[in-house]
Chains A and B, each alone.
Chain A
Amino acid sequence: MSDKTTLPKRRAPLSQLLQPDLEPAPPVVEGTIGAKITVTIDGIETKVPLGTTILEAAKSIGVKIPTLCYHPDLEIAGICRICVVEVEGQRTLQAACAYPITDPIRINTYSRAVRLARRNVLDLILSEHCGDCYSCMKNGNCELQSLAEEYGVDEFRFGHLEVPVPVDDSSYSVVRDMNKCIRCRRCVRTCIDLQEVGVYEAVNRSNRVSIETFLDKPLLTVPCINCGQCINRCPTGALYAKPALHAVWKAIDDPAKHVIIQTAPSPRAAMGEMFGLEPGTTVTYQMNTALKRMGFEHVFDTNFTADLTIIEEGTELILRLYKALVQGDTSVALPQFTSCSPGWVKYAEHFWPEFIPNLSTAKSPQQMFGALIKTYYAEKMGLDPASVVSVALMPCSAKKFECNRPEMNDSGYKDVDFGLTTRELGSMFRQAGLHVPTMPKSDFDDPFGGATGSGLIFGATGGVMESALRTVLELVTGRKLETIYEHGDIIPVRGFEGVRYAELTIDEVGPVPSILAHLVPDWEWLRGATLKVAIAHGTANARKVMEDIKAGGHFSKCHFVEFMACPGGCLGGGGQPIPTSKEIRSARARAIYGEEKTLDVRKSFENPAVVRIYEEFLTDGPCGHKSHELLHTGYIDRGKFIE
């Protein structure tokens, strides 16, 4: 609901404002909230809360008003004008997305004037859109294409864009084809308002307006964090994730190559959407079958390395705490930050480089898997690592950048060859005629086996924190987690609020398990300690927490903070099916937590494959020499300006 008195979110640095005062706005007067107002839409009367937009009111009675610049996750722009409607008594048409209802108005959503205006607006948009639908990444899932169909566009009345400008494919993750751009500014608002990164801005006036990066530099050379949230909200094919599917097909087709794939939990909770299933329908095991049929030798579960990440990252946290609290080492950086979201990592590298020491050195699950595939797995299978092609199915566009980071070759080869998005794999399935929802089910392959629930919930915001806490609490207390939390669910860290904070007190301690015996002598120093943790998802929320930490506030007292670049966590990633909305992301989260409940092993250190790898391969234990070589990494101070 849009409150008629709220100030839209600001987009420019405060220093740029002419601001004689900046005291916060007084709270909205009591009594106005919750008041209802009668509105008549196309002859139908309905009551809506004061301030509801015409668009929302129409939706509530089943009337669909077309939109283009509107997106439920974003600030209202009201600029495409496709949603105009007639409000009785007003000379001009009104943008339904932006018009708050504060009087008992009468609205017509499809009068002749409205239909003519919409058709004209559509024809104008098409005149600057290079719409070669059949050669477009968004063919079949394009909001503009659907509208053209809906409004019976049969000619380009006002012409058609012919002369293409070069496509910017400099980035490893996000491709920008401005020939398809309709200036709706959803990407601008996503980047500035939603993510508070701000690499795009509308420049120039009039029909010379274009959406550009700073000085129109290639995306690779500006502080883009590759989160791909702009891709998820682009109504046309102007933004898409850099495709890897052709290279993957080529590898599959090459008999000399041994192609394996790891699949992350979030795409499995969303792949169904690529086949028209309701959001929140999990197709994990059907997908395993389809992937094998498609030609992957083996299908592995990224949850395995998610568990490994938890062990390594959890151990790192214990070590940091031990050094700081027991050994009095003041150089230890706390709170420790998670580092499994490559968008967040790059965000931190650009905007908070002074906090790089706080980032866990543990690699992300994708990259840990990559390093193990071409070492442990190749060795075990007697394969030449050079012939192994390692593919990762991720909900994420930043994973494409991550696997191309030059330092990610600790196996002696490129650890992960290709990152595929959920969308890309969806089209590969379709190309192969594989209807995933109706496939028989099959399990993941050894030697990495099935997963624990701990790894699975990595997909949702708070998941990494919950997994880490499950492991740390049990290792330290020696008690079954279920005796501390019902079903072992650590509810305080779950949820969708942008920033969450929780405290957990360690009442008793147990013996140090053998796996950690070489690192700490006992747990006495943790007896009675209160573990303070925080969670932030979406970089706008991350910024809030970081600003607080920098100012020495509340969050600087935390021990461990989970950061995810994308709203909702990985399940809202930039490689997930389009469209996205709060409801869709919640449905995916429910699917993930639902699947997790069905798993027997829900703690990382109980995962038999994890136990085995420390016995067989990483024999000097978590954070040991070998794991440092393969499973840990470093970061780069990138700053905001790139040459």
Chain B
Amino acid sequence: MSTSIKSSTNELTFASVPAADGLNKALALSRVDIIDAIHESKLKGRGGAGFPTGTKWNLAAAETRTPKYMICNADEGEPGTFKDRVILTEFPDLVFDGMTIGARAIGASLGLLYLRAEYGYLHEHLENVVARRRKTGLLGRDIAGIEGFNYDVLIAMGAGAYVCGEETALIESLEGFRGEPRNRPPFPVVSGFLGRPSVINNVETLAWVACIFSKGVEWFRSYGTGASAGHKLFSISGDCEHPGVYEFPFGITVAKLLKEVGGEDAKAVQVGGASGRCVPRSEFERRLAFEDVPTGGSIVVFGPDRDMRAIAHNILDFFVDESCGQCTPCRLGNPKLLQGVEMLQEGTCSLQYLNDLKGLARTMQVASKCGLGQTSSVAFMSILEHFENEVLGRKPLL
């Protein structure tokens, strides 16, 4: 457990929502009304991509093929992200409530929670919660007296690959194969686990689902911005005085957030983990929201003395290691970018080659098979854009 959570977890909204409250309220509604409520709440996925949860559920609900599956993505692999761990540790019931609500909405008979390998120590804890829920009738047959609503949950362990957080790689891994992303379409809502309609939601998304039914759609929507409703958990780390898990409404500016955590002198902030973008000081007035600077919640603060080249190197090094190695742009492109950064460090990268690398990065962003390769060069490109002189080893012009 992180020892440095400033706002203690009792201060999070999740602490004020009793287990099974949202679930019971949701199960009193019809399936259509559940989905409508989620639609109206404007809840968007907290896993990074920000896909509207109501739309996703609706697509899966419309599929006629059964069985269907409700999958919770607890792979939390994005560097600098640790909010799902807090939720799983402190508020697991909310997550299972959210999964059960989703299962009811789409007509799933089984839920699967895919747990990050490094969170293996939480496995027993979660199994105990599931066992308790089975005993109290929150899982099993005819849940909440709804005839035919049979639903159970399995917990599956990941094996340590970052890419398995990508939903189709996660499914492959669940099925026992190499964790490699699938071609999309078909999307999981049509053909997911074992080829059946499946919804994959992030841990935090599901916990918010439970809150929305407990506290109401209006309550949820009253926070955040128009396009990014509600609160969001942030995992904040790096060069700041009070790193930890925080809850803020969407739309908070980078500057305000830095003030809260004691990181005002930051030179730049990496938003959205390794796959996110690097926001320089000059853009600290920008808002953290899907319509401005999107994020899955990871914020890494870089202090004034940080070497931006080293940061680019560090991030690319991560992707070189974590690419599943399936498709050409990502498998071979990331090593070329990494090598490019090393050449920059050594002063052997010509401007023309740097240009080639930028073109390569653009190709990786549009031609890679999955989100990993499509985003791995985002940080590199934004560092190049905002810290060109530093990266090229030039003295700034006076």
Contact = CB atoms under 8 A, between A and B. Distances in A.
Interface of A: 4-8, 10-12, 16-21, 25-26, 29, 76-82, 84, 91-93, 95, 98-100, 102, 113, 116-117, 120-121, 124-125, 127-128, 157-158, 183, 202, 204-209
A157 B178 CA distance: 31
A627 B64 CA distance: 63
A121 B328 contact: yes
A529 B207 CA distance: 71
A117 B367 contact: yes
A534 B161 CA distance: 46
Interface string B56-87: 00000000111100000000000000000000
A206 B323 contact: yes
Contacts of A113: 366
A125 B186 CA distance: 27
A26 B195 CA distance: 11
Interface stretch (B255-263, B282-290, B331-339): B331-339
Nearest to B173: A18
Given A7-B194, A117-B363, A205-B321, A124 B336 contact: yes
B176 A17 contact: yes
Contacts, number: 143
21 contacts: A4-B186, A5-B191, A5-B195, A6-B195, A7-B194, A11-B177, A21-B194, A79-B328, A93-B366, A100-B185, A102-B185, A113-B366, A120-B329, A124-B360, A183-B328, A204-B325, A205-B323, A207-B320, A207-B323, A207-B334, A209-B326
Contacts of A76: 183
Contacts of A26: 65-66
Nearest to B64: A29
Contacts of A207: 320, 323, 325, 331-332, 334-335
A248 B186 CA distance: 52
A507 to B, nearest CB: 48
A117 B366 contact: yes
Interface string B293-310: 000000000000000000
For the complex of A and B, 5 pairs with smallest distance between CB atoms = A7-B195, A209-B325, A98-B183, A120-B363, A124-B332
Contacts of B320: 206-207
Contact of A81 (B154, B175, B367): B367
B331 A5 contact: no
B212 to A, nearest CB: 29
B176 A12 contact: yes
A557 B175 CA distance: 36
Nearest to B191: A5
Contacts of B333: 120, 124
A29 B324 CA distance: 35
B183 A5 contact: no
Given A92-B365, A121-B329, 18 more contacts: A5-B190, A16-B176, A17-B175, A18-B176, A21-B194, A25-B65, A25-B195, A25-B196, A26-B66, A76-B183, A79-B327, A79-B369, A92-B367, A113-B366, A158-B360, A205-B325, A206-B322, A209-B325
Nearest to A86: B366
B65 A5 contact: yes
Interface of B: 64-67, 110, 154, 156, 161, 163, 174-178, 182-183, 185-186, 190-191, 194-196, 320-329, 331-336, 356, 359-360, 362-363, 365-369, 374
Contacts of B363: 116-117, 120-121
Nearest to B360: A120
B177 to A, nearest CB: 6
Contacts of A78: 183, 327, 369
A206 B190 contact: no
B135 to A, nearest CB: 20
Contacts of B194: 7, 19, 21
Which among A11, A17, A120 has the highest number of chain B CB atoms within 10 Å?
A: A120
Nearest to B187: A4
Which among A4, A117, A128, A205 has the highest number of chain B CB atoms within 10 Å?
A: A205
A18 B163 CA distance: 19
Contact of A125 (B154, B163, B185, B328): B328
Which among A5, A92, A125, A206 has the highest number of chain B CB atoms within 10 Å?
A: A206
Contacts of A12: 176-177
Contacts of B185: 4, 99-100, 102
Contacts of A158: 332, 336, 356, 360
Contact of A18 (B67, B174, B366): B174
Contacts of B326: 77, 79, 202, 209
A28 to B, nearest CB: 9
A110 to B, nearest CB: 14
B161 to A, nearest CB: 7
Contacts of B374: 92
A124 B334 CA distance: 10
B183 A18 contact: no
A204 B331 CA distance: 11
A95 B156 CA distance: 31
Contacts of B182: 8
Contacts of A98: 183
B355 to A, nearest CB: 11
A100 B327 CA distance: 19
Contact of A116 (B190, B321, B335, B359): B359
Contacts of A19: 194
A127 to B, nearest CB: 6
Nearest to A184: B328
A113 B332 CA distance: 19
A388 to B, nearest CB: 51
A124 B175 contact: no
Nearest to B197: A5
Nearest to B353: A157
Contacts of B332: 124-125, 127-128, 158, 207
Given A7-B191, A91-B366, A124 B321 contact: no
B331 A209 contact: yes
Contacts of B321: 205-206
Which among B65, B320, B332, B360 has the highest number of chain A CB atoms within 10 Å?
A: B332
Contacts of B196: 25
Contact of A183 (B325, B368, B369): B325
A509 to B, nearest CB: 53
Nearest to B152: A20
Contacts of B176: 12, 16-18
B42 to A, nearest CB: 22
Contact of B369 (A5, A8, A95, A202): A95
A93 B161 contact: no
A206 B336 contact: no
A116 B364 CA distance: 11
A81 B323 contact: no
Nearest to A182: B328
Contacts of B163: 205
